[in-house]
Chains A and B, each alone.
Chain A
């Protein structure tokens, strides 16, 4: 069923697809996080914008991925840009919502303590609210990352490679091994990325693991 000889003979092909997949995912989540964080800062200052901004991100989120790619290809071609626009768009809703939920979860008395001790608004955000929001923010990053790893397989349809590329080649050539390799690796990648982010979260928020004692 699985042609192990082919696999061992094409490890470099598989490795390349894997690194393409990781790169597309990392870029999408990175850019998505930067945009979402900027949006969250805007919302943090002007609360009235929360509704409109998340409504926009929500609409984008509901567009089926294939349809979105179909809209974009006439504008930006079969390019990395097209793939990334689609991938980034899907991270926005999750990330903005989680960043805001994280900032909103900071107890009001923490803000008041910070104000009362003479933090400026900006210092309060960076040194108190953002660190306290980290567990929720990283939870959002995990969901966004896992979702994006899945979506990157779809962007193979516009020729961007990755593990989806392996699977498409498998379908075309009716070569099951390629399909299995692509599918199994993308699942493994999602699990490992999720766990890695969880470990990162624990490392950067040591206080959440401490208990009375």
Chain B
């Protein structure tokens, strides 16, 4: 955003990555072709700005593949191209300085302060002190750490999650088009990991780097990847596709086993409630005439009337059998609520809430808790089989509810 962008090093947040192409890349070790970490004829292309997750069991060569990009390991044969340029054609230190690298266990230098750690590559590139400092502070803020508080601390004074953020900030320092991340969130507990993953995805939306990301965790792969490369022991690429495609159509028994028997559930974690066509709820306000409401709910295939307050916020259900033929609707007779979900809730979480509460429908509400509609177990299950979509809406009821 300031002076830095002129020479491409950039103190500003550069947008955009570079295409990374593996072309028949093979790595053999002396022990033979099948040894752990070997890679066999790997070919795939990661388009600029996409996150490609390399996932597979230990010894499948995923880390080897990653390290061949910045030439910590040299391939036995084949080529790796960044924006069409063979990585072996460039001076190795120059190459590495323009590829961000986040390693297992984070790898911050314990003898350097946080600010100095982030400034490592800028310093190697010969930036001025002032520019290094400015960049460090900017990046600390980017990853959610207050610069004044963290800049002069040493890594041992930070928590695992904080260190992880610094690791990402350090890799971003010289604004590299390509980032390599080797199990970057492996060293933190699950709750922190989830938060870091979300933050990282948000950051990536803004930065659009090309990222190669190694993990052994299929759930992380599905969550983080625009593309997923599933690898088998021996360094064979078993499938290279989008997470949804891998879950819906695993290319082999190995992939199916690796993604797990719960791949249906995992697919649900890729969709959100907003992706569904919601079932309109038959609603009425407390004090409304009962007869009219009774007519409407009897016409609907879903046998519960949803009582709402004047702001359209849900209060509770009335069984259609309990809606009297005359008089007014009474709040007191309402039975407690179903789970509330938001449009951003994943279908997996929505289903889990439905099963937990042993109810048929969850109420979808907006940020102001106003009712948007209903989501049912059937609708979620239908999402997994779009070709055989059952009747989601009773047309008459829909027309009624819309009235």
Chain A residues with CB under 8 Å of chain B are 109-110, 112-120, 123, 128, 131-132, 205-207, 210-213
Contact = CB atoms under 8 A, between A and B. Distances in A.
Interface stretch (B149-157, B227-235, B305-313): B149-157
B367 interface: no
Contacts of B120: 117
A132 B110 contact: yes
Given A123-B124, A131-B111, A207-B110, A116 B153 contact: no
Interface of B: 67, 70, 72, 93-97, 101, 103-105, 107-112, 120-121, 124, 153-159, 170, 180
Nearest to A123: B124
B104 A109 contact: yes
Contact of B154 (A119, A120, A131, A210): A210
A113 B124 CA distance: 14
8 contacts: A116-B72, A117-B124, A118-B93, A118-B94, A131-B111, A132-B111, A210-B156, A212-B159
Interface of A is mostly: helix
Contacts of A207: 110-112, 154-156
A117 B101 contact: yes
Contact of B121 (A117, A128, A131, A212): A117
Given A207-B111, A207-B156, A120 B103 contact: no
A110 B109 contact: yes
A113 B109 contact: yes
Nearest to A130: B111
A83 to B, nearest CB: 37
Kindly list the 3 A-B residue pairs having the minimum CB-CB distance in the complex, ordered from nearest: A113-B107, A118-B97, A118-B96
A113 B154 contact: no
B188 to A, nearest CB: 14
A213 B149 CA distance: 12
A206 to B, nearest CB: 7
Contacts of B111: 128, 131-132, 205, 207
Contacts of B108: 113
Given A110-B109, A207-B110, A212 B96 contact: no
Given A112-B103, A116-B101, A132-B109, 8 more contacts: A109-B105, A113-B103, A117-B120, A117-B170, A118-B96, A119-B93, A205-B111, A212-B159
| Most B CB within 10 A of own CB, among A116, A119, A128, A211 | A116
A133 B302 CA distance: 72
Contacts of B156: 207, 210-212
A132 to B, nearest CB: 6
A207 B154 CA distance: 6
Nearest to A205: B111
